[in-house]
């Protein structure tokens, strides 16, 4: 495989699940999913579609015929065996009134173990393209709002315990924190500690007593995921239990501002005492970053006469070129310049620029049976060629 990267890019496409994701890291210590709706569900709810399942239940998009609005209805699995466990999540969310926390509407009466909440038509952070390359202010604002929401919850003595990218839903540019199924009231819960692999703090993984700093750690993992396109500890529980310092996210995405990378890594300290003491402190650090960016905006760069792959023959193998510079201008460039491309060659190019002027993604004299995938995204174009073939 031949691969050239100006910045490494990971593109993820997953179906949105309000509070869960079918293809995300596994929930630890949870059972199978029962997809049956309770038979005693009130007739005022018209089931429109199932929008997801998680370790604690299933979520449906419903139409409330009495109120004439779309809602999300969450069914709790095996709730009849422990009604108090079912009621706890709804009670926890019900006491939280914050613009960046999902709002609960109604609680089902046993044996119909469900509750309804606002339906969020957006997508989760799990679904957006990662890593982020050029919109760090936008990302910092998202995490600032979630940190403020967490601070509000922590002041009510509520610890979420399952912060992750699929539990942050974007409605436009407004984030909403969802899925309090694992939340606990600090000092009043003796439930077994568990969460979602890759996002759990070391103390949560070890089953130690928790305080709000476990949420700060998990939010830091989520920020790292968006910045770097990978998890800080890719082996999951194995890595977390044998803790070592996380690699700087700039190793995977050099365009990350130093100050933002530093904020992220502080959240991931093994010792909670070395993290931000509160979500408010985390939010203040992000606010300081945003203020600094506004005072010193990054100037877009320029790339000229760029050739990633040049040669005579490409008769097989896998060849990939990624140019992810959303604030850069590229001009007078041929990214792949090969005279002869033969059968068996597989070529993938992804180009993301602010402006492209006289840029050719692939130029060849002969092309015979190759598999070519070219994706070009540019805000401004002046002379952009995806593929130029002189002779088929």
- The verdict on whether 179 is a catalytic residue reads no
What tokens were used for 228? 């770097």
Task: For the chain, give the mean pLDDT.
Answer: 79
CATH superfamily to which 123-295 belongs: Transferase(Phosphotransferase) domain 1 (1.10.510.10)
Closest CA to 133 of 263, 2, 296, 301: 301
Place 2 in a pLDDT band, splitting at 50, 70 and 90.
Answer: very low
Contact 282, 142 (CB under 8 A): no
Q: Which residue has the higher pLDDT, 365 or 391?
A: 365
- The structure tokens listed for 151 are 């601070």
Whether the per-residue pLDDT at 16 is higher than 70: the answer is no
* Selection from 60-64, 128-132, 333-337 with the highest mean pLDDT: 60-64
Q: Give kind and range of the element (H or E) at residue 162.
A: none
Question: Structural domain boundaries of the chain?
Answer: 45-118, 123-295, 301-391
Q: How far is CA 131 from CA 220, 296, 351, in A?
A: 15, 23, 14
Rounded distance between C-alpha atoms, residue 15 and residue 21, angstroms: 7
Q: Which of 7, 27, 162, 179 is catalytic?
A: 162
E strand spans, 9-166:
45-53, 57-64, 69-76, 104-107, 114-118, 123-124, 158-159
Q: For the residues of 264-283, what is the DSSP string, one character each?
A: HHHHT-SSGGGS-SSHHHHH
Indicate whether 213 pLDDT > 80. Answer: yes
Rounded Cα distance, 345 and 367, in Å? 10
CATH 3.20.20.300: does it fit domain 45-118? no
Between CA 313 and CA 53 the distance in angstroms is 49
Question: Taking the CB of residue 89, how many other CB atoms lie within 10 A of it?
Answer: 20
Distances (CA, A) of 58 to 100, 162, 181, 365: 22, 16, 12, 55
Q: pLDDT tens digits for 28-87?
A: 322 333 445 666 788 899 999 988 776 667 889 999 999 999 999 988 766 556 666 666
Which residue's structure tokens are 């779309």? Answer: 70
CA-to-CA distance for 183 and 204, rounded, in angstroms? 12
pLDDT score at 11 = 30
């Amino acid at each position: 495989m031949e691969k050239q990267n100006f910045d490494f890019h990971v593109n993820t496409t997953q179906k949105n699940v309000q509070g869960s994701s079918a293809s995300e890291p596994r929930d630890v210590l949870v059972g199978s999913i029962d997809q049956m709706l309770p038979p005693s569900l009130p007739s005022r709810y018209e089931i429109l579609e199932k929008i997801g399942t998680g370790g604690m239940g299933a979520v449906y998009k419903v139409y409330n015929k009495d109120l004439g609005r779309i809602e999300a209805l969450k069914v709790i699995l095996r709730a009849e065996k422990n009604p108090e466990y079912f009621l706890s999540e709804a009670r926890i969310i019900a006491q939280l009134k914050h613009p960046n926390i999902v709002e609960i509407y109604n609680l089902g009466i046993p044996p119909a173990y469900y509750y309804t909440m606002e339906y969020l038509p957006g997508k989760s952070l799990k679904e957006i393209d990662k890593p982020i390359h050029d919109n760090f202010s936008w990302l910092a604002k998202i995490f600032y709002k979630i940190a403020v929401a967490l601070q509000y919850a922590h002041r009510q003595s509520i610890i979420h315990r399952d912060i992750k990218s699929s539990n942050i839903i974007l409605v436009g540019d407004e984030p909403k924190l969802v899925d309090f199924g694992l939340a606990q009231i600090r000092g009043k819960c003796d439930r077994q500690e568990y969460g979602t692999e890759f996002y759990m703090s070391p103390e949560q993984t070890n089953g130690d007593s928790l305080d709000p700093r476990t949420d700060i750690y998990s939010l830091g993992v989520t920020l790292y995921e968006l910045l770097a396109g990978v998890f800080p500890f890719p082996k999951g529980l194995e890595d977390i239990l044998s803790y070592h310092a996380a690699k700087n996210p700039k190793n995977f995405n050099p365009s990350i501002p130093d100050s933002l990378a530093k904020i992220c890594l502080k959240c991931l300290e093994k010792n909670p005492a070395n993290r931000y003491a509160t979500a408010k402190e985390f939010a203040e650090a992000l606010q300081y970053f945003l203020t600094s960016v506004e005072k010193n905006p990054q100037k877009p760069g320029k790339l000229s006469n760029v050739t990633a792959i040049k040669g005579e023959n490409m008769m097989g193998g896998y060849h990939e070129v990624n140019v992810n510079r959303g604030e850069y201008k590229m001009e007078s460039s041929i990214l792949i310049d090969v005279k002869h491309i033969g059968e068996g060659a597989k070529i993938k190019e992804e180009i993301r620029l602010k402006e492209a002027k006289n840029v050719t993604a692939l130029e060849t004299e002969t092309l015979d049976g190759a598999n070519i995938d070219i994706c070009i995204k540019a805000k401004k174009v002046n002379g952009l060629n995806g593929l130029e073939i002189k002779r088929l």
